[in-house]
Chains A and B, each alone.
Chain A
Amino acid sequence: MSKNVDEHLFLVGDNPFLNISHLSQRKARERSEDPSNPAFAARLLRLAVENGANGFTFSVCDSNLAILDTLDFAGLPDALGLYPVVPYAFEYVQKATQRGGISGLVKTLGWEMVKSGNTTSLVYGSLTALTSNPKTLMKAYLAYELSRLKPHLGKKVQLRSVLLHQLITDMALALNLDWLFKDYMTFLSKKEITPGFNTGNFAYLVKKFREWNIDLGKILILAPFNKVGFQMIPGLEECEGALQRIHVPNVIALSVLAAGYLGPREAFEYVASLRNIKGVAVGVSNEKQAMETFGLLRKSFNL
């Protein structure tokens, strides 16, 4: 696959690998084949890449990193682009529960940063303890997450973007933390990594970023777009309108199948008809899906 064809991003999403279904968690638990098994997930990922996917977007957690460890890159024509999402909010919420709240979580995370031996993380972490500065806290955390990814990168696996998790993006949007978005972008841009934001409030994010003079051309946005308006907040029309107005094709559509409610053909045709869509992220939970999904996606985009 040539580079110019890959102007569009067709990313394998990790929801099935984490046993997540936004339609029915019961259904996710009752799958006959277990896509959360790293070896099986790695096989699905490879099949998807062989059949048209050109990247992987995933929450940075041990099970997803194990997939990258297991993945066989031999014979793959192009490098796999990574689009990790940080932090894996669920993992941190669970850790907070099991370790007696936020203070227990902070202690655990601090210890993990120390164990990682990442100098940047430790310097920013120490600065946070001294100055209580949330900006250095964010940098310490980002440096730690990047250090977790580093051993998995190479010629065949390249880090293209790091995306801020939906929960953090939307919380920061709601609390008007423009400095957080700007500092996040500066930190990653200095490392030549495209900053990205996963949001459930796409129209609101576009409005706020305009108010804050944040250059939408320098970021990737991961947001729900589907024919039935599933998880499109506040509604389908508002999100489509905001998409029309951004002038930059930098949006990766999520939830295009509306969690399995829509058939792939009609779902992909809808998303391909939208202006400013850079690509699509979609999960696969079996071999048939891994082989067929991305070819169909490319066809919908006339590629």
Chain B
Amino acid sequence: MGKMGLLHSAILNVLPGVELAGVCEPVQLTRRILKKVFRKVQVVAGVSELSRLKLDALFITTPTRTHYSVAKTALEEGIAGNLFVEKPLSSSFFESSELCDLMGSTGVGMVGYVRRFMVTFMKAKELLDEGAIGRPLSFSVTMRSSDFYGITDPSVSIARGGVLKDLGCYPIDLIHWYFGDFDVASASATSVTGSGAVDSVRFAVEGNGSALSGEVFVSWCAEGFRMPEAEFKVVGSEGSLMVNDDYVRFDVGGKVSTLYRLNLGDNVPFWLGSPEYYREDETFVGAVGQKVIRQPSFDSAAKVEFVIEEVEKKAAKLE
């Protein structure tokens, strides 16, 4: 039960029509504490033990390397037919594809690409779809954090699977969401915390069947970032657009408009962490209730793993 597990549990507990039924925690001391915290909720040691609870849905917020095994167990043993998995869906395209097959069309599968629920990125999507800046020609995306700034031990960076899986998945998902499929043209990776770690990655992409091109830079060793931040710039045939976690700014014919979160109706019924987490969970719960697929689905998330592997291959060739 990490920080994302606590966050989702708390939000689910205030969502109308939702009951938090069980929590799974393998560490004994933490489990004993959780039993006293979650007094009316079952706290179990293993995923299979959740089967007796007859769950409608399961949230998987474990470390990424375990997403696949937990999700597979949940689906194969019928523990829950609807799954929310924190991003990324799994550690590889192979695993994600298998999870897509297992999920099929019987349940709702959603992945925690939370920026799709941030009002600024939602507004940018709306503007791009409306053609506010004309036809998109090129873009650049940066995703930076200071999580490992000044750190000289690569072990935790390596254990987390590298910056591409941890942070890089966000811009990849955003590009898919905004522009559809794309190809990786070139890539390079750098170790900052120490040998063997992948701490910053740069890659270039080309639109699949279009003239669109873009550049992506991801680092978790950047200075001065209190929280991870994404910044997306798009140049179109009639203007340009820049969106980050705080605002969206667009320039059409020299007229510049800036819309901050507070201009975009960011309030939600309950605020925990950031409003987008509430929107994300509300969307998933709504999809389960209506038995409809909502994005980001397992299928769209699996494409992220595919691109990550393409970037890794291209970066490895350079080394």
Interface residues of A (CB under 8 A from B): 18-21, 23-26, 29, 90, 93-94, 96-103, 128-129, 132-134, 137, 167, 170-171, 174-177, 200-201, 204, 228-235, 258-259, 261
Tell me which residues across on chain A come within 8 A of B269, comparing CB atoms.
Answer: 233-234
- Since A19-B224, A90-B226 are in contact, a sample of 14 more A-B pairs with Cβ atoms closer than 8 Å, ordered by chain A residue number, is A23-B262, A24-B246, A101-B63, A134-B36, A134-B37, A170-B10, A171-B10, A175-B9, A175-B10, A175-B37, A176-B13, A233-B270, A233-B271, A261-B260
A/B interface sample: 13 pairs, CB < 8 A: A19-B226, A25-B245, A93-B3, A94-B147, A98-B148, A101-B2, A102-B2, A134-B33, A170-B10, A171-B272, A174-B13, A174-B272, A233-B271
Tell me which residues across on chain B come within 8 A of A19, comparing CB atoms.
Answer: 224, 226
Instruction: Name the CB-closest residue of A to B258.
Output: A24
Interface residues of B (CB under 8 A from A): 1-3, 6-7, 9-11, 13-14, 27, 29-30, 32-33, 35-38, 63, 146-148, 151, 156, 159, 224-227, 229, 231, 244-247, 260, 262, 267-273
Per a CB cutoff under 8 Å, which of A29, A100, A233 touches B156?
A100
Per a CB cutoff under 8 Å, which of B2, B148, B226, B247 touches A20?
B226
Per a CB cutoff under 8 Å, which of B7, B148, B227, B270 touches A234?
B270
How far is B3's CA from A103's CA once the two chains are assembled, in angstroms? Answer: 11
Tell me which residues across on chain B come within 8 A of A259, comparing CB atoms.
Answer: 262
How far is B224's CA from A170's CA once the two chains are assembled, in angstroms? Answer: 27
Q: Which of A26, A103, A128 has the most CB of B within 10 A?
A: A26
How far is B246's CA from A29's CA once the two chains are assembled, in angstroms? Answer: 13
Contact status of A230 and B262, CB under 8 A, knowing A19-B226, A26-B246, A90-B226: yes
**Nearest 4 Cβ contacts at the A-B interface:** A132-B32, A174-B10, A200-B271, A233-B271
Shortest distance from the beta carbon of B248 to any chain A beta carbon, whole Å: 12
CB pair A201 B29 closer than 8 Å: no
Contact status of A174 and B14, CB under 8 A, knowing A93-B3, A132-B32: yes
Contact status of A29 and B224, CB under 8 A, knowing A167-B272, A167-B273: yes
CB pair A204 B260 closer than 8 Å: no
Q: Which of A18, A20, A132, A137 has the most CB of B within 10 A?
A: A132
Tell me which residues across on chain B come within 8 A of A94, comparing CB atoms.
Answer: 146-147
CB pair A98 B33 closer than 8 Å: no
Shortest distance from the beta carbon of B207 to any chain A beta carbon, whole Å: 27
Q: Which of B147, B231, B260 has the most CB of A within 10 A?
A: B260
How far is B4's CA from A96's CA once the two chains are assembled, in angstroms? Answer: 12
Tell me which residues across on chain A come within 8 A of B271, comparing CB atoms.
Answer: 170, 200-201, 231, 233
Tell me which residues across on chain A come within 8 A of B270, comparing CB atoms.
Answer: 170, 174, 201, 204, 233-234
CB pair A229 B227 closer than 8 Å: no
Shortest distance from the beta carbon of B258 to any chain A beta carbon, whole Å: 9
How far is B14's CA from A234's CA once the two chains are assembled, in angstroms? Answer: 13
Shortest distance from the beta carbon of A243 to any chain B beta carbon, whole Å: 16
CB pair A132 B147 closer than 8 Å: no
Contact status of A98 and B226, CB under 8 A, knowing A23-B260, A93-B3, A174-B10: no
Shortest distance from the beta carbon of B194 to any chain A beta carbon, whole Å: 13
How far is B37's CA from A271's CA once the two chains are assembled, in angstroms? Answer: 37
Tell me which residues across on chain B come within 8 A of A230, comparing CB atoms.
Answer: 262
Instruction: Name the CB-closest residue of A to B36.
Output: A134
Per a CB cutoff under 8 Å, which of B7, B229, B231, B244 touches A171?
B7
Instruction: Name the CB-closest residue of B to A27.
Output: B246
How far is B37's CA from A133's CA once the two chains are assembled, in angstroms? Answer: 9
CB pair A100 B3 closer than 8 Å: no
Q: Which of B63, B226, B271, B273 has the most CB of A within 10 A?
A: B271
How far is B288's CA from A142's CA once the two chains are assembled, in angstroms? Answer: 41
Shortest distance from the beta carbon of B145 to any chain A beta carbon, whole Å: 9
Shortest distance from the beta carbon of B196 to any chain A beta carbon, whole Å: 16
Per a CB cutoff under 8 Å, which of A93, A174, A228, A235 touches B262?
A228
Tell me which residues across on chain A come within 8 A of B226, comparing CB atoms.
Answer: 18-20, 25, 90
Tell me which residues across on chain B come within 8 A of A25, comparing CB atoms.
Answer: 225-227, 229, 244-246
How far is B225's CA from A18's CA once the two chains are assembled, in angstroms? Answer: 11
Tell me which residues across on chain A come within 8 A of B260, comparing CB atoms.
Answer: 23-24, 261
CB pair B246 A233 closer than 8 Å: no
Shortest distance from the beta carbon of B7 to any chain A beta carbon, whole Å: 7
Contact status of A174 and B11, CB under 8 A, knowing A23-B246, A232-B267: yes
Instruction: Name the CB-closest residue of A to B269.
Output: A234
